[in-house]
Amino acid sequence: MANPKAPRTTSLRKSATPKPTLEPQPGNGASAIDLEAEIRRRAYELYLMRGCTPGQENDDWFVAEREIRARYNQLSARASA
């Protein structure tokens, strides 16, 4: 019988750079969006769409990141126009 795992007591390493966010633009009613959280959610959706098969986590993340950043860039371009 396998030994039960103890809960992780060390904190996860934090990156030195702040997480990019989409700041609200005056007058458009947008709220701040955490890009990393959006990418994480989309990558999980892609994982579910693949039938929850392991082994393609990096591919899911890169596709999700590309989609979310493209959407962010479109919103930024519209806001500055």
How far apart CA 26 and CA 35 sit, in angstroms, is 19
* 23 within some domain: no
- Give domain status of residue 13, yes or no: no
Q: Tell me: the pLDDT tens digits for 54-70?
A: 999 999 999 999 999 99
Residue 33 has which token pair?
Answer: 């969006």
Residue 21 lies in a domain: no
- Which domain range does residue 60 map to? 31-80
Q: List the one residue out of 32, 20, 24, 25 whose CA is nearest residue 69.
A: 20
Please give the pLDDT value at position 14: 47
Asked if residue 48 is part of any domain, the answer here is yes
- The reply to whether 49 falls in a domain is yes
Considering the domain boundaries, does residue 3 fall inside one?
no
Is 18 within a domain?
no
Overall domain count for the chain: 1
Neighbours of 50 (CB within 10 A): 13
User: Residue 19 domain-assigned?
Assistant: no
Give the single-character DSSP code of 32. P
Query: Nearest-CA neighbor of 73 among 20, 28, 31?
Result: 20
| pLDDT tens-digit map of 5-43 | 665 555 444 444 444 444 444 444 444 568 899 999 999
Instruction: State residue 81's pLDDT score.
Output: 73
